[in-house]
Structure 1
Amino acid sequence: MKDEKSVKAAIVYLARSKSGDIANLKRSLSLLDVNFNDKFKYPVIIFHEDINENLMKKIREATRSKVQFEKVIFEIPDFLNKEEIPELVYVDGDCFSMGYRHMCRFFSGIIFHHPALEDYDYYWRLDTDSFLLDNINYDVFQFMQERDLEYGYIDIFKDEPASKGLWDTTKKYIEDNNIKPEFLHKFTSNGVWDRSYYYTNFEIAKLDFWRSDEFMNYFEYLDRSGGIYKYRWGDHVIHLLAISIFVPENKVHRFSDIAYQHQGFINNYSMDPDNFRRLRNLKGIIMNHFVKASTSLKRKSGLYRKFIKLIKRES
């Protein structure tokens, strides 16, 4: 059981009031309870723009965790020329709304300075469609603290040809400030970033780094360039670049042991018939995400075809 001497940490979500998002969030919280938080009892903070009291009540009824709601207001920052910001950004056939780009900016750097997190040393970010699939029998925050880790992630992928200008902007920042990156070379080829990114719908991190001058100076440099809004620079790519530039590699950990599912990606979970039956109540949600998931993630998961066969067999 978590006691007063435990790590000061919180689990965070950003949620919309759309019915599908709320349904996913309730299921995510339920699985968080069963597989982690019933034992460790960390507070859950749900950031939102427009969740009303009635929805808050329903969400609280879906979980045994202590839930705190925090309203956020998203706006294009005043230092950017709003006339230069497109309402929609199209990248490689995908369309990214203003709301999506607000979210990218929020998770890239803004969230770490929100008053709701000021008393915490660590955070665990999950998306509303993040599902823990099996029991986690240890305290992930204690794990981070005892090993003096700065950042924990679930996996690394490569972005589609997107994030226009991000590498050039980052490279200039490194050169202008005479920075010697920690392990950025692992994600570059012939001096060019290979578009690797952390799958940030699951990340556990020490807040000290995100609040540090070295990160904030870099983030503000990117932020003021306008690339987040003009070109869809996401938190996933910004975080990988920042971590690999400033954080020693031995302070970064992959949580490869945690059974986790997000859209077309499943980590460390054997989708055999027994496990599949355990998740039958999730079938509709998981199947919906597999259908919508990008082809690259389906290939990465290595489980897509097997999962589809099991879906059909159990239907």
Structure 2
Amino acid sequence: MFSLHRYRQKLVLLDPSTILVTVTTLLFLFSIIKIFNATTQVSSIRLGDLVVHDTASNIDATTNPSKSNFDLDSNSDDIISGSKSNSKSKSSLSSDTKKLTGSKLLNSQSEAPYQRENATIMTLCRDEDMWDIIKSVRRLEDRFNHKYHYDWVFLNNEEFSDEFKKRLTSLVSGEAKFGVIPREHWSYPDFVDQEKAKEGRERMAQQGIIYAEMESYRHMCRFNSGFFYEHPLMKQYKYYWRVEPDVNFFCDVDYDPFRYLRVNNKLYGFTISIYEFELTIESLWGHVKDFIKKNPQYLDKNNFMDFLSNDGGDSYNLCHFWSNFEIADMDFWRSEAYTKFFNYLDSTGGFFYERWGDAPIHSIGISLFAGRDQIHYFDDIGYNHGVYSMCPIDEQVWLDKKCSCEPNSDFTFRGYSCGQHYFKVTGKKKPDNWKDYADL
């Protein structure tokens, strides 16, 4: 044990110059000890809590970043659940660490930067939608993409203005890309009788059907059904997240949905399911049955026909996934089965003679030509489009995801939703309190 008292007794016998050197040495030693103690304390605060800041993706996480997003074993790709969230203490610590370190890594032996999936967010809109799409972009960036920096592709049948490009580029944390849709994907194909198409629009207008007289709406539905994934800006990607103007995201998305799809072998994800207006697709199911009869080899053995039909495929029950929100694998749309399916339906002229939407086309395609287990319900991503919302009614999910929606606004178990039917045919367990938010 070091004794300063004994050391002082010995100092009396020393000459002045020796005393000066000795005192200086002591002061230096005490300074070193003080600095060492302080450094050890700081290290225990930072490294003891095992907090890492990922410079590439700007994601704060524990030393196993994906642990905060999924339940994993030692293999980070072995995902069990995509709904587990960080505890409050971890979130607070991450936030504090970010303030202290900026973009610096705390540990020189830290893990490699987050590797994004081959994915993009995609929006089809017009210049006049600028302020509404700005709202959507800001909301999704705040809830999700500011941590992951995925690219965002904006498509239009005309060139976007410089102002549109400037404003949207400033909001997107990844790379913003702007593309023009080829004319052949936004015009009448040669086989369509335009006079017959006009008569169809007029008939629907008399029936009071929404968008009945809009030619552009039909071009949009046809493009979204069969062409968007072949656009030059989209062909480089495998996954996409479709986002429309003036939609809302109510909850933190604290994991990567694209990675969730890949690791869990999912092809399609949705939040809202709903019934279609029957008058807009009067001949659609007949053509679907014709295609299946001629091409039975494309039907998946584990298909989801019972979501689409209550009588084994004889008739269509009108249920579909609302495609204004969808996260999916474009390689499925590019597959031989779906390509031939779309081309067959397109050749009938139904997009123009009636008013076929891309939602039933996508829903029927994915339900017939993919396995039922490859379709995922994102029940933890709060979402709103128009009058319909998905808001987690499980209180713990709502709290963990820091949601801002009213649970009573949730559409899942309401009368016009296909939510109850979805849970019935999948056998999934409903939230314990679902009846409090249902039309029974």
Q: TM-score, normalised by structure 2?
A: 0.59
> What's the counterpart of residue 283 of structure 1?
none
Decide which moves more: 90-99 or 226-235. 90-99
Equivalent runs, 1:18-167 vs 2, <5 Å: 18=128, 21-50=129-158, 51-72=160-181, 73=183, 74-86=186-198, 88=201, 90=204, 92-96=207-211, 97-162=214-279, 163-167=281-285
**Shift of residue 279, structure 1, vs aligned partner:** 6.7
The answer (yes or no) to whether the contact 2:250–2:391 under 8 Å persists in 1 is no
Q: Matched residue of 2:147: which SS?
A: helix
Equivalent runs, 1:162-173 vs 2, <5 Å: 162=279, 163-173=281-291
Matched, 1:238 2:361: yes
Decide which moves more: 21-30 or 60-69. 60-69
The answer (yes or no) to whether the contact 1:10–1:45 under 8 Å persists in 2 is yes
The answer (yes or no) to whether the contact 2:120–2:240 under 8 Å persists in 1 is yes
Paired residue for 2:308, among 171, 187, 197?
A: 187
Paired residue for 2:125, among 15, 38, 53?
A: 15
Decide which moves more: 146-155 or 215-224. 146-155
The answer (yes or no) to whether the contact 1:130–1:202 under 8 Å persists in 2 is no
- Structure 2: segments with no counterpart, 5+ residues: 1-53, 58-112, 406-414, 421-436
Q: How many residues align?
A: 284
Instruction: Provide Cα deviations, 1:5-53, integer angstroms capped at 9, x if missing partner.
Output: 42100000001122xx221100100011111110011000000123211
Q: Within 2, Cα distance between the matches of 1:142 and 1:266? A: 24
Q: Within 1, Cα distance between the matches of 2:271 and 2:210? A: 26
**Shift of residue 61, structure 1, vs aligned partner:** 3.3
Q: Within 2, Cα distance between the matches of 1:141 and 1:157? A: 24
Letter paired with 1:166: L
**Shift of residue 4, structure 1, vs aligned partner:** 7.2
- Structure 1: segments with no counterpart, 5+ residues: 281-294, 301-305, 307-315
Q: Within 2, Cα distance between the matches of 1:206 and 1:178? A: 23
Q: Within 1, Cα distance between the matches of 2:267 and 2:258? A: 11
Q: Matched residue of 2:141: which SS?
A: helix
Q: Within 2, Cα distance between the matches of 1:155 and 1:40? A: 24
Q: TM-score, normalised by structure 1?
A: 0.82
Decide which moves more: 62-71 or 214-223. 62-71
Structure 1: 4+ residue segments shifted above 3 A: 1-5, 61-65
Q: Within 2, Cα distance between the matches of 1:220 and 1:143? A: 30
Decide which moves more: 81-90 or 141-150. 81-90
Q: Matched residue of 2:240: which SS?
A: strand
Paired residue for 1:201, among 319, 324, 349?
A: 324
The answer (yes or no) to whether the contact 1:260–1:269 under 8 Å persists in 2 is no
Decide which moves more: 254-263 or 70-79. 70-79
- Highest CA radius of gyration, 1 or 2? 2
The answer (yes or no) to whether the contact 1:25–1:129 under 8 Å persists in 2 is yes
Instruction: Provide Cα deviations, 1:222-268, integer angstroms capped at 9, x if missing partner.
Output: 00100011111110000111111100011110101101111111212
Q: Within 2, Cα distance between the matches of 1:103 and 1:78? A: 17
Q: Within 2, Cα distance between the matches of 1:124 and 1:172? A: 31
The answer (yes or no) to whether the contact 2:248–2:384 under 8 Å persists in 1 is yes
Equivalent runs, 1:246-285 vs 2, <5 Å: 246-269=369-392
